[in-house]
Amino acid sequence: MPLSSVRSAVEQLLLPAECLICHGLLNPRDAARIVCPLCRQRWRAVRPPWCRRCGQPEPHFGPCRLCPEWPAPLTSVRSAVWLDDGARQAVHGLKYGGLPRIADDLAAAMGPIRPETDGPSVLIPIPLAPKRLRERGYNQSEMLARALARQWRIPVALDVLVRARETPTQTALTPETRLANVRAAFAVANVQCPMINDHWTLIIVDDVFTTGATLAEASRALEQAGVKRIAGVTFARAAIPDFT
């Protein structure tokens, strides 16, 4: 039994069946859930009109400010919900609460943003720096990708994209410094990977989208390795404070 399954089974035994967000008791049929149906309904979906490429709600005039510099293969990025208080608690649970099982609830909310692809597709989680992986014990993007893989019935590839270097946490950075912070942060470990060809679409998975810097930089590494089709999906999208 993989360690993550053992951990999940132990959690189910130890945790009271209450919602992570509102602490209401979970219905017996939702006992495997972490977030109750009501709190999941309260997550606010990101809706069109949006930039067709980056999924950012359209500015009132002029071209999109977020995605013009993105690598060409990255043609579609979508986020399921806005990062308001409820969604933030869920992301926090996934990231710091030691509750990787919440990934199933987040993945369920991402159903409507599944990218449409002509050919086969594979999920690529944003890799965590080794130091943070040791501290946390798991990669939250990998948990999310695995949950999506179960729901969308497509594979996850963990041996394609890797961290090339450690990066300081993005949380307190402005849009410009975020980009510099993740520059050359990623590399492709397995350039012989059979999914790197003209037919496969690589779907990058991350928990939160803020400026897209992480997805763009990961795409840059994939593009250099020869990947032609890239999409990105995230559970939540943060409003950028100075982006009006």
Which residues are at the interface with Zn ion (CB under 5 A)?
Answer: 19, 21-22, 36, 39, 51, 53-54, 64, 66-67
Report yes or no: 213 and 133 within 8 Å, Cβ to Cβ. Answer: no
The smaller minimum CB distance to Zn ion, of residues 19 and 46, is found at: 19
CB of 215 to Zn ion, least distance (A): 12
Both tokens of residue 79?
């986020």
**Comparing C-alpha atoms, which of 99, 231, 150 is closest to residue 91?**
99
Q: Apex CA 74: angle with CA 203 and CA 164, to 5°?
A: 75
The smaller minimum CB distance to Zn ion, of residues 85 and 198, is found at: 85
Per residue in 158-190, is it b (16+ CB within 10 Å) or e — as a string? bebbebbeebeeeeebebeebbebbeebbbbbe
CB of 70 to Zn ion, least distance (A): 8
The smaller minimum CB distance to Zn ion, of residues 56 and 121, is found at: 56
- Give the C-alpha distances (Å, rounded to integers) separating 204 from 74, 121, 127: 10, 10, 10
CB of 137 to Zn ion, least distance (A): 25
The smaller minimum CB distance to Zn ion, of residues 189 and 223, is found at: 223
Both tokens of residue 208?
């939160």
DSSP state of 119: S
The smaller minimum CB distance to Zn ion, of residues 54 and 91, is found at: 54
Report yes or no: 20 and 93 within 8 Å, Cβ to Cβ. Answer: yes
CB of 90 to Zn ion, least distance (A): 10
The smaller minimum CB distance to Zn ion, of residues 70 and 200, is found at: 70
d(C-alpha 125, C-alpha 143), whole Å: 8
CB of 244 to Zn ion, least distance (A): 15
CB of 36 to Zn ion, least distance (A): 3
Q: Apex CA 125: angle with CA 192 and CA 16, to 5°?
A: 145
